[in-house]
Amino acid sequence: MNVLKFDDGSSHSVVEWVKANVEFMGNISSFEVYKSEDDIPKLYKNAPDFYVYKAKREDTKSTYHLILRDDAAEIETWLGGCNCGYSGGGPSATKEILQIVGLKMDYDIISRQSKVKMKSLVPHHDLNLVVFKPLDRMHFQKEERMNVFLTFKTAHEKWNAKRAFEVIGNVHPLRDLSPIVEELYHAHLPYSTENEWYEYATNNGVVLSNQLASLSNELLTGLIENIAYKYNAKFEITYL
């Protein structure tokens, strides 16, 4: 069993650590999260660890409230700074991490329950886009150019691809740009997207930058295909 650990006591820091290290966490298929230390299994309480400061090793112990697993690859990720059972920074970090790793669920259960365990989960790493051409300088008027449906093998590849798309235009959740089109996109998914946070929306609109707005469909398709191939995505592109 390969174990990754992170705990510096900060909810924000643990979210940033997950974003930076999700590549090594595998595909998460189960997790458990606790509010009270009394409920945490002994394995995750006062676990020995060490850090190096000014070339000196310092031994320490940490208690981890959130455990994420890739059961097939036998990878566990132990995280401090995030928990459950109330409305606050710790549970908020847990909800955000679950979205980063591609788990689709009612995230509010994390605030409502003091202990949450889920198994046999299937992570989803989809990124669906409607590409818009801006028709005015302020982008208030837009023309739909194409639909893009992408499915990635890992969360790491998905988030890198999304950053690549942010280079070609402004990316916003589709519900903000065209709620009617958002409803049509739901038909392509085996899960609900209604609980997703803004930053982690599956369905998005990309308003092309002014420099790329005049690209032909052929060139634009080639650009999108290059991003899809680079990050090992299955994809479909349809024209409007």
Report pLDDT for 147. 93
What counts of helices (H) and strands (E) characterise the chain? Answer: 7, 12
Does one domain contain both 88 and 154? no
**115 membership: H or E segment, kind and range:** strand 115-118
Does one domain contain both 36 and 130? no
Q: DSSP secondary structure string, 188-228? A: T-SS--TT--GGG-SEEEEEE-TTTTT--HHHHHHHHHHHH
Report pLDDT for 123. 98
Backbone angles phi, psi at 218, to 5 degrees: -65, -50
Please say which residue of 60, 92, 118 terminates a domain.
118
d(CA 10, CA 32): 19
d(CA 230, CA 208): 20
Report pLDDT for 128. 94
Does one domain contain both 155 and 234? yes
What's the structural domain count of the chain?
Answer: 2
Half-sphere exposure of 106 (CA within 13 A, CB side): 6
Please say which residue of 72, 99, 118 terminates a domain.
118
Report pLDDT for 9. 81
Please say which residue of 118, 153, 171 terminates a domain.
118
Predicted structure pTM score:
0.92
Domain of 153, in residue numbers? 126-239
Report pLDDT for 112. 98
If you compute the radius of gyration of the chain from its CA atoms, what whole number of angstroms results? 20
Report pLDDT for 188. 73
Residues of the chain with pLDDT under 50: none
Q: Report how far apart, in Å, the C-alpha atoms of 179 and of each of 86, 201, 204 are.
A: 31, 13, 11
Does one domain contain both 131 and 44? no
